[in-house]
Copies of this chain bind each other. A is one copy, B any other.
Amino acid sequence: MVQSKRPSLEDLLELLGQRGVYFILRSLQQGALRFGALQQATALPPRSLSLRLRDLEEMGLISRTEYQEVPPRVEYALTPLGKALEPALEALAAWGKTALKTP
């Protein structure tokens, strides 16, 4: 467990502004996912995805679970703090839909 950053609203917004982060959180709302699956969902290069996942983990929004197997398997899931974002993400999505209706 890392949880180094104080999860301030400004930090969250800055992170949400990075490409793919919104999609990562939305995807994980359906359940835990592996690195490869997130790569496909976000269309991010490995390095960028890795950085974003670390940011999210440091902010306490997601957890990383490493399974000692062959082949290696790592799963990412929302923490309670991450799940608490759901209403906000819903509200943003709702705005996005209304924005399309009134051009």
A residues engaging B (CB < 8 A)? 6-10, 12-19, 21-22, 80-81, 84-85, 87-88, 90-96, 98-99, 102-103
CA distance A13 to B93 in the complex (A): 11
Chain B CB within 10 Å, residue with most, of A8, A14, A90, A92: A92
Given A17-B18, A87-B94; 10 other pairs, CB 8 A cutoff: A6-B103, A8-B99, A9-B93, A9-B96, A10-B19, A12-B99, A81-B98, A85-B95, A87-B95, A88-B88
Q: Contact check: which of B8, B17, B102 meets A96 at CB < 8 Å?
A: B8
B22–A13 CB distance below 8 A: yes
Chain B residues, Cβ within 8 Å of A99: 7-9, 12, 81, 84
User: In the complex, how many angstroms separate the beta carbon of A11 from the nearest chain B beta carbon?
Assistant: 10
A19 CA to B17 CA, complexed, in Å:
11
Quick one: which of B15, B93, B94 contacts A17, CB cutoff 8 A?
B15
